[in-house]
């Protein structure tokens, strides 16, 4: 018999970085597969919907909260398995992501250093193939161990089986809500050189090749200047990170927009598609940095971050999201897809 604790009526806002939303009817933190199984058995016995929460850095919880069971997997432990020029590093889903990155950097293991400062837990990173400053977790993940909610068995997915794309995997598309991530294994390079792919970083080091520790420090400094590192004293960081994905459009559509609006920034994806920065579209649709709508606002340092500026409700966050989508749609005929997951709506 499991001694798993089920708490009742647990406020979810403090468990998220946006700090909005109501309570979970039930909440539990399983520490191993048996406890996770017990949590799902309880949900079936009591006919409860389930939401799996990680660090709450990519979610918007409704003001009504979640009328079901919120499960936050608390699987811990980091293991290193050296082999030749690389080391396989496995981390439990409940490990803090940035502490994991710091541990790897301190051991001279390269491959996740540019992902320093991203909030959340290890288990959340494969879901939307977390990425920043030239690295995506899909570049180093070799295996994702999951609990299958349908069969109750544990399965290991290879990198290819995860179907990683830009902010996408099978876990947030074709197999959404089917698997609970238990453990993620990364293959990192021993005594590796850091990745310096991003313009801000190239400029920062001006031709000099930094070591992993210097690169991590630079990423953290750049992220702090954009309020993209959590800081309890900085309301600009009370966000869910980038609120919209950068839209990927056909070159023909891009050309039409550029012909009408002049210099429109873009990043080529391939011969057919380009990525347009959502931040540019938002600002050019009339939403300035620092703009407010009730308690919700746009970060004064980053137009892509919708923030809880001052006691916002989830409803106010959604109203601002809707207004941005509508204006960008009207002006550029592009639908901005939100990045965060909406819970209890």
Ligand X SMILES: Cc1cc2nc3c(=O)[nH]c(=O)nc-3n(C[C@H](O)[C@H](O)[C@H](O)COP(=O)(O)OP(=O)(O)OC[C@H]3O[C@@H](n4cnc5c(N)ncnc54)[C@H](O)[C@@H]3O)c2cc1C
Write out the residues near ligand X by the rule CB under 6 A.
Answer: 17, 52-59, 73, 93, 118-121, 123-125, 127-128, 130-132, 180-181, 228, 230, 237, 239-241, 341
Give the pair of three-digit tokens for residue 201. 């970083």
Shortest gap between Cβ of 54 and ligand X (angstroms)? Answer: 2
| Residue 44 burial (10 A CB sphere; 0-12, 13-18, 19+) | exposed
As a 3-state breakdown, the chain gives helix, strand, coil percent values, each rounded to 5, of 30, 25, 45
CB closer to ligand X, 216 vs 254: 216
Counts of helices then strands in the chain (DSSP H, E): 7, 19
CB closer to ligand X, 95 vs 316: 95
* Residues 6 or more apart in contact with residue 326 via CB below 8 angstroms: none
CB closer to ligand X, 125 vs 325: 125
Catalytic residue among 29, 95, 102, 339: 339
| Inter-residue contact 269 to 245 (CB < 8 Å) | no
Q: Quick one: which of 248, 311, 237, 246 has its CA closest to 278?
A: 246
User: CA-CA distance, 255 to 271, in Å (whole number)?
Assistant: 13
Q: Note if 167 is an active site residue.
A: yes
User: CA-CA distance, 183 to 214, in Å (whole number)?
Assistant: 28
Shortest gap between Cβ of 101 and ligand X (angstroms)? Answer: 12
Shortest gap between Cβ of 280 and ligand X (angstroms)? Answer: 17
Catalytic residue among 57, 62, 138, 242: 242
Catalytic residue among 167, 187, 216, 238: 167
CB closer to ligand X, 117 vs 192: 117
Shortest gap between Cβ of 339 and ligand X (angstroms)? Answer: 7
Residue 113 phi/psi, 5° resolution? -60, -35
Shortest gap between Cβ of 257 and ligand X (angstroms)? Answer: 25
Which active-site residues does the annotation give? Answer: 167, 242, 339
């Amino acid at each position: 018999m499991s001694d798993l604790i089920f708490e009742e009526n647990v406020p979810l806002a403090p468990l998220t970085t946006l700090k909005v939303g109501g309570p979970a009817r039930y909440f539990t933190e399983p520490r191993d597969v048996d406890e996770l199984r017990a949590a799902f058995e309880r949900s079936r016995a009591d006919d409860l919907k389930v939401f799996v929460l990680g660090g709450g850095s990519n979610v918007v919880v409704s003001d009504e909260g979640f009328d079901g069971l919120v499960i936050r997997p608390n699987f811990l432990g980091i293991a290193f398995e050296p082999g030749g020029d690389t080391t396989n590093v496995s981390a439990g889903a409940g490990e803090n992501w940035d502490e994991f990155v710091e541990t790897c950097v301190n051991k001279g293991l390269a491959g996740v250093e540019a992902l320093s400062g991203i909030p959340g837990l290890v288990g959340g990173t494969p879901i939307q193939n977390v990425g920043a400053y030239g690295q995506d977790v899909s570049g180093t993940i070799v295996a994702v161990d999951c609990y299958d909610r349908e069969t109750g068995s544990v399965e290991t997915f290879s990198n290819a089986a995860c179907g990683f794309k830009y902010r996408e995997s099978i876990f947030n598309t074709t197999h959404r809500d089917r698997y609970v991530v238990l453990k993620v294994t990364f293959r990192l390079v021993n005594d590796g050189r850091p990745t310096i792919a991003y313009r801000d970083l190239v400029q920062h080091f001006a031709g000099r090749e930094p070591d992993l520790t210097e690169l991590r420090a630079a990423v953290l400094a750049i992220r702090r200047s954009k309020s993209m590192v959590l800081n309890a004293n900085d309301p600009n960081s009370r966000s869910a990170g980038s609120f919209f994905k950068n839209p990927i459009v056909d070159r023909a559509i891009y050309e039409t927009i550029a012909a009408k609006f002049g210099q429109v920034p873009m990043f080529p994806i391939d011969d057919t598609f380009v990525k347009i920065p959502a931040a540019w579209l938002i600002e050019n649709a009339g939403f300035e940095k620092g703009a407010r709508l009730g308690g919700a606002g746009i970060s004064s340092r980053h137009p892509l971050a919708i923030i809880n500026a001052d006691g916002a409700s989830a409803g106010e966050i959604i109203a601002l999201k809707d207004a941005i989508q509508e204006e960008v749609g009207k002006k550029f005929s592009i639908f901005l897809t939100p990045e965060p997951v909406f819970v209890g709506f």
